Amino acid sequence: MRIKMKRDLSALVACIALYLLVMVLMETEVIGSYWQLNIVLICINIILAVSLNLITGFTGQFSIGHAGFMAVGAYMSAVFTVKLGMSFGAGILAGAGAAAILGFAIGLPTLRLQGDYLAIATLGLGEIIRITILNIPYVGGASGLMGIPRYTNFTWAFFAMIITVFFIKNFINSSHGRACISIRENEIAAEAMGVDTTKYKVIAFTIGAAFAGVAGGLFSHYFYIAHPASFTFMKSFDILTMVVLGGLGSISGSITAAILLTFISAALASYPEWRMVIYSLMLIILMIYRPQGLFGNKEIGLKIFSRILGGGQHGAAQNK
Amino acid sequence: MALLKINKLTKEFGGLKAVSNFNIEIDKGELIGLIGPNGAGKTTAFNLMTGVYEPTSGQMDFDGKSLLGLKPYQVTQRGIARTFQNIRLFSDLSVLDNVKIAYHFHVKYGLMEAVLRVGRYYPEEDSIEQKAMECLKMFKLDDRRDEIARNLPYGEQRRLEIARALAAQPQLLLLDEPAAGMNPQETHELMKMIRWIRDELKLTILLIEHDMSLVMGVCERIYVLDYGSIIAEGTPSEIRNNPCVIEAYLGEEVH
């Protein structure tokens, strides 16, 4: 057991090393402002993908309304900082809290549904959230909430990401996490083993929603604006793509896929019409040759990275 | 006092009475068989006991308290664990994790303790792992701990399912056709194992079985179910000579 703690510590050290490295590269302007933006986006996308993986990959509840929770976080945190003049930290926490409460309230009735029914319900739900926001003049309605200060920087995004990854990794490697996984594996058997399946589905949904809220808060405070058009179901699909690409039930897979897809869309930014074509081609090829995703439900650890690279600055891909 | 007492339990699916007037009484430490022809309602009876179905009418008392209206997980937490006729393992998980999940509702550490890995997390995880290994050792599956459950041979999957049910630390174990698909040799070993579990762990066991040699060989008392109601009850030799039972299985004698 103590090995776990040691691994956690070495992963943390690697993370800090990675942070310092990127920080130095940013300060010395080796990484320009365009890639800085993408690195922050990567961190936000990792938070989104890992939190959705908890719901869809580990607990097996197919959800395509993740952008809705992100929107709630984005708006709530912006309301806290812009309208109420609170600090950024309080804003992020408020965004996470609001998304969690909503996730709980919505999860309780909808998680009785299974498979495609749940997918449709969550799809509708994401749209309901977006359209509700669109019709609230207090937060700017269709033109969005403007004038949000840029509080998010690499440090915030990076450490929020690390907290998310550690939180979800530790949750999954506990008895509570095993209860969630057992629901994915066989709901009837899980129930017969004394697992309160409704409770754990709702817990997973709430935690996932909360971290989507954090990501939303970081997002709106990076781009100066919270706009309903950023949180359409296309955004939900983007996140789902990352999770499926990386492997349902693999945190390191989600991280890798988030990095990969963010880079690809950044590289394709000058050909926006080709972006979705390449995206879908990639998915089709992956589904044919590797239906379980890049990593399946396996985790890639620091060990493998250090073996491959003989050192390993790749702290972002640590795991259990 | 009876550990499990079921009185006039009835379940109707629309117009079909799957189980009607089902009465059963099991004392602590007994090893009881429930037999009956195909479609007699044996598995429905199990599903009623474990809360999968809600009975139309009747009473069920376990350990002096009613089981009516409980959800399956609550029934398990009360102390009734079961296995399934068609194996339902967590097939993509390791053998060890399959068993670990059964300890879930005994775990006391909270969510934050798990996430921060403080407090009771490490001690309890250690003890779960230890108990799970002991449980696997009992079923001679300890050298398979890291195997993915779906890759086990059929007989071992059956054994793992029983091991997992026992890991939930029940008072009453319900086995739904544990010998289904096993060869005579495996059935014989299973028979020995079931008796050993009962004696060693001081459990009460109720099993559904088609294999007559297993039921007759291992059970102390047998209930016979036909068309949803109990038609006979008694020791194996009584059941063997009971005309009602022979009729249910073989049809009426020609005069």
How many angstroms separate the CA atoms of B234 and A46, rounded? 64
Enter the DSSP assignment of A80: I
Could you report the average pLDDT of every consecutive run of 10 residues in chain B (255 residues)?
90 90 91 90 92 92 92 94 92 94 91 88 92 92 92 91 93 91 86 89 90 85 90 90 84 69
Q: Are B88 and A5 a contacting pair at CB < 8 A?
A: no
Is the per-residue pLDDT at A319 higher than 50? Answer: no
* Sheet with B229-234, side-by-side order of all strands: B80-82, B172-176, B204-208, B31-35, B221-226, B229-234
Contact A177 B50 (CB under 8 A): no
Q: Residue B164 has which token pair?
A: 């997992």
Structure tokens at A162: 């690390």
pTM over 0.80: yes
HSE-up (13 A, CA, CB side) for residue B69: 2
A170 vs B114: CB contact, 8 Å cut-off? yes
User: From A204, which residue of chain B is nearest by alpha-carbon distance?
Assistant: B111
B115, B161, B171, B175: best mutation site toward chain A, by most A Cβ within 10 Å?
Answer: B115
**Residue count of chain B:** 255
Distance of CA B87 to the CA centre of its chain: 12
Q: Tally Cβ neighbours within 10 Å of residue A43.
A: 27
Which residue from B minimizes the CA distance to A199?
B73
Cβ within 8 Å, pair B115-A182: no
Distance from CA of B233 to the nearest CA of A (A): 28
Nearest CA in chain A to B165: A193
pLDDT value of position A304: 58
Helix, coil or strand: residue A157: helix
How close, in Å, is residue B209 to chain A by CA atoms? 20
pLDDT at A224 over 70: yes
Helix, strand counts (H, E) of chain A: 13, 0
DSSP state of B104: G
Closest chain A C-alpha to B248 CA, distance in angstroms? 32
Residue B93 is nearest to which of A5, A171, A181, comparing CB atoms? A181
Given an 8 Å threshold on Cβ–Cβ distance, is B104 in contact with A175?
yes
A288: contact with B, CB 8 A cutoff: no
pLDDT tens sequence across A94-120: 999 999 999 999 999 998 888 889 999
Task: For residue A140, give both structure tokens.
Answer: 């700017």
Burial A84-104 (b: 16+ CB within 10 A, else e): eeeebeebbbbbbbbbbbbbb
Query: Nearest CB to A189: which of B90, B105, B129?
Result: B90
Residue type, A81: T
Nearest CA in chain A to B108: A175
> pLDDT tens digits for B43-92?
999 999 999 999 999 999 999 999 999 999 999 999 999 999 889 999 99
The structural domains of chain A, ordered by start, are 32-319 (1.10.3470)
What residue of A is the nearest CA neighbor of B84? A189
Which residues have CB under 8 Å from B98's CB, separation 6+?
Answer: B89, B90, B149, B160, B164
Q: Quick one: closest CA in A to B122, which residue? A: A1
Specify the pLDDT at position A317.
40
Chain A residues 143-202 with a CB less than 8 Å from chain B? 166-167, 170-171, 174-179, 181-182, 185-186, 188-197
Q: Do A181 and B52 touch (CB under 8 A)?
A: no
B76, B92, B126 ranked by CB distance to A192: nearest: B76
pLDDT value, residue A320: 40
How far is B73 from B63, CA to CA, in rounded Å? 17
pLDDT at A71: 96
**Residue A312 banded pLDDT, cuts 50, 70, 90:** very low
Partner-chain residue, chosen from A175, A192, A193, that has the shortest CB–CB distance to B107: A175
Chain A nearest-CA residue for B109: A175
Using the CB atoms, write b or e for A129-141: b if 16+ within 10 Å: bbeebbeeeebbe
Q: In this complex, which of B107, B128, B164 lies closest to A193 when CB atoms are compared?
A: B164
Chain B residues with CB inside 8 Å of A178's CB?
A: 97, 100-101, 104
Inter-chain CB proximity A194 and B76 less than 8 Å:
yes
Q: Which residue of A has its CA nearest to B169?
A: A193
Per-residue pLDDT tens digits for A107-155: 999 988 888 899 999 999 999 999 999 999 998 888 899 889 999 999 9
Token pair for A233: 């179901």
> Is the pLDDT reported for residue A88 higher than 90?
yes
Which of the pair, A276 or B3, is modelled with greater confidence?
Answer: B3
pLDDT tens, position by position, A36-70: 999 999 999 999 999 999 999 999 999 999 999 99
**What average pLDDT does range A10-32 have in this prediction?**
90
Query: Does A263 reach chain B within 8 Å, measured CB to CB?
Result: no
Contact, A174 vs B109, CB < 8 A? Answer: yes
The residue type of A24 is V
Q: Which residues of A touch B88 (CB under 8 A)?
A: 186, 188-189, 192
Place of tokens 């060990």: A303
ipTM for the complex shown: 0.89
**pLDDT reported for residue B6:** 93
What is the CB neighbour count within 10 angstroms for residue B150?
12
Chain A: closest CA distance from residue B75 (Å): 8
Contact list in A for residue B128 (CB cut-off 8 A) is 175
In what side-by-side order are the strands of the sheet with B65-66?
B16-27, B2-13, B57-62, B65-66
- How sure is the predictor about A33, in pLDDT bands with cuts at 50, 70 and 90? confident
How many A×B Cβ pairs under 8 Å? 106
Q: What is the mean pLDDT of chain A?
A: 88
B104/A193 CB distance under 8 A: yes
DSSP per-residue string spanning A181-244: HHHHH-HHHHHHTT--HHHHHHHHHHHHHHHHHHHHHHHHTTSS-B-GGGGSHHHHHHHHHHHH
